[in-house]
């Protein structure tokens, strides 16, 4: 007996609906599940009733459907940071990311399919730092020309039509004291950056800095172009080095050495690059920010582009950049329609960190509402100490290179190589150093260890002798 077509269609729809419900239920059932969080070691006195840890410390996770590399998120009311789950002798474990705010924090795990687990709560206590969190360091103060408020100019014709009177008027209305003008790209000088432009802006009360985007293919040519920008009257020069320089330590060193030979050792030089040092392990921060190189660090703290809150992105930036010793003058974003309230929060957060200078990318992206916000008083909040990078055996990257360069002055047998592998030998040296300084011999860098390590002399490395 044949069923009517309408009946068959209804039956098919019902079957598909049942399959969909079953599929959704299965998907929910397949999500990771957290059963418990514990301190490592579990006998930690501060963790008898609740998990209470500082940034950089490990916690153990127990649960179902956990796997190495899963994204572990630490979330609090004003932000969130994430890291990866790994398998250790203690089971599934993760370190609380530097930059996580003090207070109650919810921990969740997400698998590769995007399924998120239930949340478990911990308490993060403030990092025990020997000093107040600061964007300025004992290594030096921010050059005067980079202090205050600054705005970046990319394309002069799209900057109030290139009219110098209009540029100066808008800058004054927003309390901008310095403009950073694109001057060269690789070894090619841009026609928009001229002595006449520099003199005209200076005559209208602005400080004028040049910025150059570099690639590393022709470091000597790039250095020559940058020196020409300085000769055109720039009061400071900012090196914009990003992806192209990753892994090219030799090129970075050749560029810096050639540039300093041309402009002198005291000329104000800054670096702008990625804010999350740990996300770019092969970028030569340790070359560009070494003694004798850039005196200022202008990380690109583009919180909206990164996808985090102002508080979280700023805290992580401070935590991972402070080890290089150069004063931090963050570069914030007005592009991508960053809300004025977030601009104001950014200014207040960095005022709390003690940043002597803040600048913005970029003039041509800034709306009228944003200009008005930038002209208001900044205000200030005092953020908690964001912690320090917790390096340990198995860690890799430029931060490890920086650590090893300092430890090498304590123990000349410490090997420093591109890639920055934290080996068992590095851990043994660090433990001996911690013991000699009266610190817990954990083999992991915490606040007190970093402070002691950075007090050591930096052992120079000749990267130009090798590839890159």
CA–CA distance, 322 with 276 (Å, rounded to integer) = 11
In the predicted structure, residue 24 carries a pLDDT above the cut 60: no
CB-based contact 234:209 (threshold 8 Å): yes
Would you list the DSSP string of 35-102? EEEEESSTT-GGGSSS-EEETT-EEEEEEES--TT-EEEEEETTEEEEEE-EEETTEEEEEPPTTPPS
In the predicted structure, residue 1 carries a pLDDT above the cut 50: no
CB atoms within 10 A of CB 436: 11
CA–CA distance, 134 with 352 (Å, rounded to integer) = 8
Give the 3-state secondary structure percentages of the chain, helix then strand then coil, rounded to 5: 35, 20, 40
CA–CA distance, 435 with 429 (Å, rounded to integer) = 10
Q: Which CATH superfamily is domain 144-374 in?
A: Glycosidases (3.20.20.80)
- How many CA atoms does the CB half-sphere of 9 hold within 13 Å? 3
CA–CA distance, 347 with 457 (Å, rounded to integer) = 34
Going by pLDDT thresholds of 50, 70 and 90, the confidence category of residue 16 is very low
Residue 193's Cβ-count burial label (10 Å; 0-12, 13-18, 19+) is buried
pLDDT tens, position by position, 266-302: 999 999 999 999 999 999 999 999 999 999 999 999 9
**pLDDT mean over 229-248:** 98
CA–CA distance, 420 with 429 (Å, rounded to integer) = 15
In the predicted structure, residue 21 carries a pLDDT above the cut 80: no
Q: In the prediction, which pLDDT does 133 show?
A: 55
Please state the φ and ψ torsions of residue 135, each to the nearest 5 degrees: -90, -5
In the predicted structure, residue 451 carries a pLDDT above the cut 80: yes
pLDDT tens, position by position, 141-191: 999 999 999 999 999 999 999 999 999 999 999 999 999 999 999 999 999
Q: Where are the beta strands (DSSP E) in 215-369?
A: 237-241, 269-272, 296-297, 331-333, 357-361
- Domain range summary for the chain, segments of one domain joined by +: 33-125, 144-374, 398-465
65: alpha, beta or left, given left = phi > 0 and alpha = psi -120 to 50?
A: left
In the predicted structure, residue 373 carries a pLDDT above the cut 80: yes
**398-465 under CATH 2.60.40, yes or no:** no
> What kind of architecture, by CATH, is found in domain 33-125?
Sandwich (2.60)
């Amino acid at each position: 007996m044949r069923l009517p077509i309408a009946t068959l269609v209804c039956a098919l729809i019902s079957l598909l609906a049942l399959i969909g419900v079953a599929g959704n239920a299965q998907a929910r059932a397949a999500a990771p599940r957290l059963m418990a969080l514990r301190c490592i070691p579990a006998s930690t006195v501060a963790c008898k009733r609740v998990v209470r840890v500082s940034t950089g410390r490990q916690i153990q996770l127990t649960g179902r459907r956990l796997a190495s590399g899963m994204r572990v998120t630490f979330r609090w009311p004003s932000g969130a940071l994430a890291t990866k789950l790994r398998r250790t002798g203690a089971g599934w474990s993760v370190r609380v990311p530097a930059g996580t705010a003090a207070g109650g924090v919810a921990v969740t795990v997400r698998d590769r399919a995007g399924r998120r687990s239930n949340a478990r709560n911990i308490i993060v206590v403030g990092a025990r730092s020997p000093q107040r969190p600061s964007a300025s360091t004992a290594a030096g103060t921010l050059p005067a020309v980079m202090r205050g408020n600054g705005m970046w100019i990319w394309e002069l014709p799209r900057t109030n039509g290139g009219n110098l009177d209009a540029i100066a008027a808008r800058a004054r209305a927003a309390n901008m004291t310095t403009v950073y003008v694109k001057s060269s790209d690789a070894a090619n000088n841009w026609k928009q950056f001229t002595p006449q432009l520099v003199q005209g802006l200076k005559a209208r009360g602005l400080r004028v800095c040049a910025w150059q985007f570099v690639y590393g293919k022709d470091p000597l040519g790039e250095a020559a172009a940058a020196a020409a920008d300085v000769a055109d009257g720039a009061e400071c020069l900012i090196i914009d080095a990003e992806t192209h320089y990753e892994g090219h330590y030799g090129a970075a060193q050749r560029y810096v050495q050639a540039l300093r030979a041309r402009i002198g050792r005291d000329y104000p030089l800054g670096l702008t690059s990625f804010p999350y040092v740990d996300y770019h392990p092969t970028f030569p921060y340790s070359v560009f920010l070494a003694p004798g190189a850039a005196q200022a660090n202008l990380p690109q703290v583009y919180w909206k582009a990164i996808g985090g809150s102002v508080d979280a992105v700023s805290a992580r930036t401070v935590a991972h950049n402070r080890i290089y010793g150069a004063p931090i003058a963050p570069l914030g974003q007005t592009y991508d329609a960053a809300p004025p309230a977030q601009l104001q929060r950014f200014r207040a957060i960095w005022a709390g960190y003690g940043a002597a200078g803040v600048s913005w990318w970029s003039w041509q992206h800034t709306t009228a509402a944003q200009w008005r916000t930038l002209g208001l008083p900044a205000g200030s909040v005092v953020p908690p100490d964001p912690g320090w990078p917790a390096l340990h055996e198995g860690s890799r990257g430029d931060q490890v290179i920086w650590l090893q360069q300092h430890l090498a002055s304590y123990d000349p047998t410490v090997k420093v190589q591109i890639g920055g592998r934290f080996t068992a030998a590095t851990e043994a040296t660090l433990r001996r150093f911690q013991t000699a300084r009266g610190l817990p011999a954990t083999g992991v860098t915490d606040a007190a260890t970093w402070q002691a390590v950075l007090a050591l002399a930096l052992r120079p490395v000749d990267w130009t002798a090798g590839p890159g």
